[in-house]
Chain A
Amino acid sequence: MKNEVKIHEVDPSLNNRRSFLKLSGLTLVSAGLVIAGCSNNDDNDSPMEDTSLPGIRNGVFDLGSGDFGVLTYAYALEQLEADFYTKVVNASNFNTTFNDIERQVLTDLYHHEVIHRDFFKAALSGALPNPSTQLLPSLAFNYGSMNFNSRSEVLATAKALEDTGVAAYNGAGKLIKSPDYLLLAGKIVSVEARHASAIRSLINPNSSDFAGDDIISTSTGLDAAKDPSKILPIAGGFITTKFTAKYLP
């Protein structure tokens, strides 16, 4: 299945064009962002084209496929997480919105996600045949009406992002051909899962939410695993730079 995340700038005053993104219990008003779903519109591509490499196709950056496609996909997600926590820790009331433990957790997550983002940038820059055209550019983000000085909004968004990250890596593992890249993804996904657990625990400490029945199957004990085509419409709600993932499942 070919999928495309199209994000159009829309005048928020057009009340019929507002889109509402529901993320794990959090309703985010992403003003001005509309996501168009899957598209099979790849008829213009040359059949001889190597689709494994990321780069501009038909005027839009496409993530590609195979290991480079998966790593670029991960780079996009890590860019989002890093940007989000950078905004969280730099919010004007960060020191009063959150208690000591919460600030420590959120600051650690900011560090980890920035490291992940910069790691993927470096790794892709080193591995891509022609990074000047094949490296995913720095993306732009929009969090709509989200209030970064609201404890509940920040934690709910963090929970959604971390759970989404875990499901994304879990779903992408089988797409990776290189054992080395698979191991690197494995080194990161368990840290994302540690994050998700901690954030869930901050939201609802006296509970089993750290690995709650809402996310872990009560019959198999398995966490979520989702294909890129299921993840990108969620993450795309925050990403304003248009890109496609036509060659990832």
Chain B
Amino acid sequence: MATTTVPAPAGRRRRTPLARREARWAYLFLAPWIVGFLVFNAGPMIASAWLSLTEYDAINAPRYTGLDNYRELMADPMVARSLGNTVYYTVLHVPLVMAISLGLALLLKRVGRLQGFFRTVFYLPVMTPAVAVGILFLLLLNTQDGLLNRGLALVGIEGPSWTTDPDWVMPGIVLMGLWSLGSTVIIYLAALQNVPRDLYEAASIDGAGGWARFRHVTLPMISGALFFTLIVNTISSLQMFTEVYTMYFGNRQTQGAFNSDAASFYVIHLFQEAFQFLHMGFASAMAWLLFVIILIITLVQVKLGNRFVYYEGDQP
């Protein structure tokens, strides 16, 4: 906690009246955030921890039920299903996004003036509102008329029912997720452009070939960016909501026609428990389970990351 990137003031001075006046002003500048932190972060965290131990429908007062919600949670097949789908998505999405983005960034680095144009192309899907992405892919993945299956038919493959076959719904969603990898590409490109050129020259002089230069210069030098995108993409994948909700939820008729359990993600199920069924206590317990899962995964990634990530100009 004590070591940060902020350079510490040289030597500890005694608190003069001036310093005290300065500190008062400092807290005045921080005041909005402190208030916001208490009202919208710390307070709600405590409240949600308490609610997770109650039965609460937002109308009648919460009724304390101990750990019942957590017990139910563990036994609930829909929680297990949605968590399974979410993990399935994350495990496929994150490595695929990282690998493809790195490949694209390596190509982009080498095309000179055209770089800006291609960067725009890859970023435009990120700008598309998530609801529109959901609608677009609902149609692109359509079994008979969708662009994807019509494309597959051209090469003689009969495409699966991406949006209605429970076995193919998740792969379809993974495909959709890949369309929005633009920001990861831009992060990698920025990292690649900051690798000092002399390192490649030195490696070449030492007789390193293309692969060796990539493996021993490029990868270590951009490991910070790789690590960062690993964490950020994992956290956001575990909280996938809008695109999938748009496609398969919130509409009784479609939900009835198609067994939407196959497309249920953890946060979608949590949202429905909270605001459709008004099981706010149960949903709070679900939220805390998600928080713990994210925390553990991130901690493991940070632990592993510290072993592999090279920080240039690292401070002790």
A binds B: no
